[in-house]
Amino acid sequence: MKIGFIGLGIMGTPMALHLVNAGHQLLVATRSRLPDAVAATTAARCANAAEVARQAEVVFLMVPDTPDVEQVLFGPGGVAEALPGEGSRKVVVDMSSISPMATKAFAAKINALGADYVDAPVSGGEVGAKAASLTIMCGADPAVFERVLPLLQLMGKNITLVGGNGDGQTTKVANQIIVALNIAAVGEALLFASKAGADPAKVRQALMGGFASSRILEVHGERMIKRTFNPGFRIKLHQKDLNLALQGAREIGVALPQTASAAQLMQVCAANGMADLDHSALVRALELLGNHPVAEA
């Protein structure tokens, strides 16, 4: 297939490479320099997102935030300029993590232009993107989902059609709430253990064999101990996701007190110049409050 991919960042690049390696023709926009790994492939370069969409059967988006998706879709030179297009009905697949309400509005506008829309945000970070093991949460018409499923399977393992447009993004927001609260819990536990005089590495090892074991304790607990906060998923992006959760909570009238607390811890990190570190660096906020590092650098 001819597949467009817009958003070749930390996660987008390996995701796009999986599509190329499976034999698909990749179309990319060239407003900025392409990552070397993509430039070395047979990817065809297009002037803008509209030109990508004009040639592609399916267009994937993997950009940071709601305004970025809106700009790519409906801004000058955007995807919408190429719709409906000729041939089979085109599909836009947004794998970014953005507002569920905005997603519903975007989908309606794309549908009105004669194309289909799938919101398919992901979880798994850079590691999952490289390993093609992402969890993908989809909101779409079932027939449209089945059409793009073989492509999604090249990038992920746990792929679920949750419901209609917007439901994939709602699921991703729920995912980010759980991840943030687990990072905070692991950070508090390791900080407590370290300041009490125990070896946090040995504490983590012991906890991995019990009911407290989790993927967050395994991966991010090790990051906290080894001080490896190079970004797999940046704090500023997780902040954005928690803000979506809190905004949505206000709109539907529910309280998310623990989510608000985690968002404030991330804000402490951002205020201290750590917004571009991995979200496991949330522990640094707890360390500042406790005046004690989990481990020495």
The amino acid that residue 142 corresponds to is P
What CA–CA distances, in Å, run from 142 to 91, 146, 149, 162, 210? 13, 6, 10, 10, 39
Asked if 235 and 278 touch (Cβ cutoff 8 Å), the reply is: yes
Question: Residue 6: which H helix or E strand, with range?
Answer: strand 2-6
Which is the catalytic residue, given 90, 104, 130, 172?
172
Which among 236, 271, 242 is positioned nearest to 257, based on CA atoms? 242
β-strand 134-139 against 122-123: which pairing, if any? antiparallel
**Who contacts 200 (Cβ-Cβ below 8 Å, separation ≥6)?**
190, 193, 194, 224, 225, 294, 295
Active site residue 172: yes
CB atoms within 10 A of CB 251: 10
What CA–CA distances, in Å, run from 164 to 52, 94, 248, 281? 26, 14, 17, 35
Catalytic residues: 172
